[in-house]
Amino acid sequence: MDNVTVRPVVHVSTCKICNSQAPLYGVADFNKSCEEARGRYLPLVGVPVYYHRCNHCGLVFTRAFDDWTKADYAQHIYNEDYVLIDPDYIDVRPASNAGFIRDFIKKGRDLKCLDYGGGNGTLARLLQEAGVDAHSWDPMDAAGSPSPSGPFDFISAFEVLEHTPEPVATVREALGMLSPRGVLVFSTLTIDHVPARGMDNWYIAPRNGHITLYTRRALLTLFEGEGYRVHHFNNNLHMALNHDPDWLS
Ligand SMILES: [Zn+2]
């Protein structure tokens, strides 16, 4: 964590989804990670990361990394130590997600699938091994691989939205790859009820790259703005679509 620089703090920011006023909400050391929920703590690094909270839709977000390049993220967050603070991303989560997707699309025929934000491509590979026409693409890929040729009937985006500093642009990009009756299934933990000072919440974790945290209202506003409706399976798993495909019944 050498030479990290973050953007200076403004007291009242503008919500990245609904443009309402978003006062300062709280501050966390850069090294605050999700593993603290399991009792594992990285040493504090002394870099404060301030978060704002929208007065209207409740979005909690930081602007500290708005100026970062993909290379900055690769150096400071998605580096060789990332596995220490997100140990499940290597294979536990892809295996579980692959099983879920196979079940979810089982009524579909020859669906073209994309795992958006697929990291090293493990989930798509597991789906391919099961006979699914699955592709993987990651907008944070520092190598900048070209965007995949869609459209796709089904797009998954697991653990993506909390990592983006630009929620509208990210969602617009993913939805732009969907076919007209396509379905986007995505995970991100919604936090609908937060106390006045809620920075102890385990999911607000700059070291994990968790820099944008949603309420259900924030997700609704975000997807309505793109012409999509949102269904919540639970607090972590959601679906966006505008016309129900035949296979989803
Ligand atoms: Zn808002």
Question: Three-class SS string for 31-87?
Answer: CCCHHHHHCCCCCCCCCEEEEEECCCCCCEECCCCCCCCHHHHHHHCCCCCHHHHCH
> Ligand 1: distance of its center to the CA of 146 in Å?
31
Give the environment of ion ligand 1: residues with CB less than 5 A: 15, 17-18, 20, 54, 56-57, 59
Tell me: pLDDT of 140 over 90: no
- Neighbouring C-beta atoms of residue 110, cutoff 10 Å: 7
> Ligand 1: distance of its center to the CA of 67 in Å?
21
Going from the C-alpha of 221 to that of each of 52, 161, 171, 243, the distances in angstroms are 18, 14, 12, 18
Which has more confidence, 183 or 7? 183
> Ligand 1: distance of its center to the CA of 56 in Å?
5
**Domains assigned to the chain:** 12-241 (3.40.50.150)
Query: Using one digit for the tens of pLDDT, what is the confidence trace for 185-226?
Result: 999 999 998 888 889 999 999 999 999 999 999 999 999 999
Tell me: pLDDT of 60 over 70: yes
> Ligand 1: distance of its center to the CA of 165 in Å?
14
Percent of the chain's residues with pLDDT above 90: 82
> Ligand 1: distance of its center to the CA of 222 in Å?
9
Tell me: pLDDT of 1 over 60: no
> Ligand 1: distance of its center to the CA of 85 in Å?
29
Q: Which residue, 201, 198, 194, 199, is CA-closest to 215?
A: 194
pLDDT of residue 236: 96
Q: How far apart are CA 162 and CA 214, in angstroms?
A: 8
> Ligand 1: distance of its center to the CA of 32 in Å?
24
> Ligand 1: distance of its center to the CA of 80 in Å?
34
For the chain, give the mean pLDDT: 93
